[in-house]
Amino acid sequence: MQIGSYQLKNNLILAPMAGITDRPFRELCVQFGAGLAVSEMVASNPALTRHKTTLLKTDHNGDTGIRSVQILGTDPRLMADAAKLNAQRGAQIIDINMGCPAKKVCSVAAGSALLRDEALVKRILDAVVNAVDIPVTLKIRTGWDMRSRNAVEIAQIAENAGIAALTVHGRTRACKFEGRAEHETVKKVKQSVSIPVIANGDIDSPEQARFVLDSTGADAIMIGRAAQGNPWLFSQISHFINHGKHIEKPTVTDIHGTLMSHLDKLYGFYGNASGVRIARKHIAWYFKHLGSVAQDAQSNINQAQCPSHQIALINSAFNLLTTDRAA
Ligand SMILES: Cc1cc2nc3c(=O)[nH]c(=O)nc-3n(C[C@H](O)[C@H](O)[C@H](O)COP(=O)(O)O)c2cc1C
């Protein structure tokens, strides 16, 4: 999979997820086999560019993978400026968000709301592609709603503007996250353009990954929610696609070790107080894969206010788990 001048090591991509795909989580997913991990979106609003959370989102210090930064906005000039600024801050790929359905985003007609205005889409893409000399990618949904699924038209606009790769989440904006994603539209998009196309939506197993790749002809797949608490999914999919069989699932000890290293990165990146708070949702996702003994420990773990307490509670949950599984 090639994006502009960047050759990805495979065709498995971690989806941008606000509040989740921070540097620690991206690093982990790359370590476990993601060929690319896209950052959380950053607003193009200049008032926010020096904001502490924006600076953290665009902190690439020690980033191990290709640095793809997602920007969001509606004004072509501000989007162009945001692309330039992020390129100066170390982005190697700029991704444009036209897929986010959140009310906060759509009420200012950004994210997937832009899909209703093809002329504005063209102006934004032209402005951003012309502003930087790094590849620009685009992420969309299949359309605004079921009656206006214009992903093919948007894909052609994107190709003409010089977009280097296009991700299609197989839902309309109106679908939010309901129902199952469909990938028929991705297939149509793939057949109508010659830029790389990435399929996204509800890919949560090696079998589903292979099915989506085969049935759409997409060049790559993008995975979001299924990677939460489960960064191993990338190596599992990669092995299945390359060898046609499954690799061993991570053991309880593997999960414990990975969670500890994830926490260490979170405390280091955010500082102890925020790190402990942000870690809670990740711990819950890891524990979801470990059954009821782990889940029972969760509310207790959520009370911890400092790293040493959080770690001690997690260690005792894992001790219980090991004893439980040995019994
Ligand atoms: C919590 C959360 C945050 C998200 N944030 C973003 C975002 O910042 N930018 C974006 O383009 N998509 C965002 N998405 C959408 C995902 O990138 C992806 O398109 C969607 O979750 C479908 O893929 P999945 O079924 O593999 O999760 C977000 C999704 C979730 C669940």
- Sorted by where each starts, the structural domains of the chain and their CATH numbers stand as 2-243 (3.20.20.70), 252-326 (1.10.1200)
Contacts of 95 (CB under 8 A, 6+ apart): 16, 38, 68, 69, 70, 71, 136, 137, 138, 139, 167
Question: How distant is the alpha carbon of residue 249 from its chain centre?
Answer: 22
Q: Which of 100, 106, 175, 306 is catalytic?
A: 100
Task: Flag whether 200 is marked binding.
Answer: yes
User: What length is written for the chain?
Assistant: 327
- State whether the beta carbon of 223 lies less than 6 angstroms from ligand 1: yes
User: pLDDT 10s digit of each residue in the chain, 327 long?
Assistant: 999 999 999 999 999 999 999 999 999 999 999 999 999 988 877 766 777 777 788 777 777 789 999 999 999 999 999 999 999 999 999 999 998 776 555 556 667 688 999 999 999 999 999 999 999 999 999 998 888 899 999 999 999 999 999 999 999 887 788 889 999 999 999 999 999 999 999 999 999 999 999 999 999 999 999 999 999 999 999 999 999 999 999 999 999 999 999 999 999 999 999 999 999 999 999 999 898 878 888 889 999 999 999 999 999 999 988 876 665
Nearest residue (CA) to ligand 1, atom 29: 17
Nearest residue (CA) to ligand 1, atom 28: 17
Question: How distant is the alpha carbon of residue 108 from its chain centre?
Answer: 22
Residue whose CB lies within 8 A of the most ligand 1 atoms, among 186, 212, 225, for a mutation test:
225
How is residue 286 written in tokens? 């890891």
Atom of ligand 1 nearest to the CA of 223: 26
- To the query of whether residue 306 is one of the catalytic residues in this protein, the response is no
Asked if residues 184 and 218 have their Cβ atoms less than 8 Å apart, the reply is no
Indicate yes or no: pTM above 0.85.
yes
Asked if residues 33 and 12 have their Cβ atoms less than 8 Å apart, the reply is yes
Nearest residue (CA) to ligand 1, atom 3: 17
- Ligand 1 geometric centre to CA of 17 (Å): 5
Asked if residues 157 and 129 have their Cβ atoms less than 8 Å apart, the reply is no
Task: Flag whether 18 is marked binding.
Answer: yes
